[in-house]
Amino acid sequence: MSPTGAPPDWTKMDIAVPRPPDRLPGISMAGFRQLDVVPVDITMVAHPAVTLLIELSEGEIVVRDSRGGHERGSVVIGLVPGDLRAGGRVGECLQIRLRPDVAAAVFDAAPELSGTMAPLAEVWGRDAGRFEDRLRAAASWDERFTIAAEVVGRRLRARTPVEPEVAHTWRRTLTSRGLAPVDSLASEVGWDRKRLWSRFRSQLGISPKRAGRLVRFDHAAHLLAAGHTAAGAAAETGYADQSHLHREVKAFTGLTPSAVAVAPWLAIDDVAWPVSP
């Protein structure tokens, strides 16, 4: 994360990732510690996951949306929340990404979170404070990752998962990078298109078609961040042309492809998320 108007300087941010024993299927984590006190103001690029951002220090992280709403401190961000910016001092924070079918089992209100954000305490109640206290008292990132895996894993096991057909459809949407037609996905699970659309939306808070658009956008955004041209990224990710990609990038981020290409939020992904969920 970088100061407003400055290029990203990751020498000023310590980044920690969990060891394999602390990794859970469909869940990825990264810890961040800011080494200076310069406030940040960065665009949070939409990602095909529900994001849990936990503040662990006396930093003053504020997440704002384009409609003027804002949340301070630990926050849960649903799928496709619109244009978001993270500002203030990061201090130390833990970011957890949950695959939507996993998030639906971890959070009782995961479908309702789609398109918005909410304070962690509002979603988890009193458990949120206890969770934050344990994380803050931990002596190392390894201990924090172990605590997070324990708490999230316990919630996951205690709740009813989404239907197997819905989970399969999401995973196929990911593996096809958003290009699998909805009719084909419905056929794979033995449902008609209408039933898949209804069940998928009610359990994940997003339609199968929009899920495909989000996953395809995410692939294109990371190609742009890796240095591909807009035309090349559009061709590789199945967009009709460069203009089509431009419209999708604008719809998901409010930015142009050239702005997304230098977004600090994407530049750190290979370091913070070395293992796909």
32 and 86 in a common domain: yes
User: Do the domain assignments include residue 105?
Assistant: yes
Question: What pLDDT score was predicted for residue 275?
Answer: 63
Query: Does 90 share its domain with 63?
Result: yes
In a domain, 4, yes or no: no
Same domain? 151 vs 177: no
150/96 Cα distance (integer angstroms): 13
Domain membership flag for residue 89 = yes
Question: Is 239 a member of any domain?
Answer: yes
Q: CATH number of the domain at 154, please.
A: 2.60.120
Would you say residue 129 lies in a domain? yes
Does the predicted TM-score (pTM) go above 0.95? no
136 shares its domain with 206: no
CA-CA distance, 173 to 215, in Å (whole number)?
7
- Same structural domain for residues 126 and 199? no
Please count the structural domains in the chain.
2
| CA 256/CA 264 separation, integer angstroms | 14
In this structure, what are the phi and psi dihedrals at residue 245, rounded to the nearest 5 degrees? -60, -45
CA–CA dist 237, 177 (Å, integer): 8
Question: In which domain, by residue range, is 20 found?
Answer: 10-161
43 and 119 share a domain? yes
- How many beta carbons lie within 10 A of that of residue 157, not counting itself? 10
Does residue 270 belong to any structural domain of this protein? no
Distance CA 246, CA 254 (A): 10
Domain stops at, among 113, 129, 161: 161
Whether residues 126 and 247 share a domain: the answer is no
Q: Are residues 177 and 257 in the same domain?
A: yes
CA distances from 229 to 226, 242, 248 (A): 9, 10, 15
Q: Is residue 172 part of a domain?
A: yes
- Cα 128 to the center of its chain, rounded Å: 19
Residues 30 and 156 in one domain: yes
Same domain, 105 and 216: no
Is 79:205 a contact under the CB 8 Å cutoff? yes
If asked whether residues 124 and 89 sit together in one domain, one would say yes
What dihedral angle (degrees, nearest 10) is formed by the CA atoms of 176, 177, 183, 187? 30
CATH of the domain at 248: 1.10.10.60
- In terms of domains, do 147 and 70 share one? yes
Asked whether residue 174 is domain-assigned, the answer is yes
Write down the residue that tokens 């398109």 correspond to.
115
- Can you give the pLDDT of all 277 residues of the chain as single tens digits? 333 333 344 446 788 999 876 778 889 999 988 776 667 777 788 889 999 999 988 667 778 777 777 778 888 998 887 777 777 776 788 999 999 999 988 887 667 778 888 899 888 888 899 999 999 999 999 999 999 999 999 988 888 889 999 999 999 999 999 999 999 999 999 999 999 999 999 999 999 999 999 999 999 999 999 999 999 999 999 999 999 999 999 999 888 999 999 887 787 787 787 765 4
CA distance 127 to 51: 18
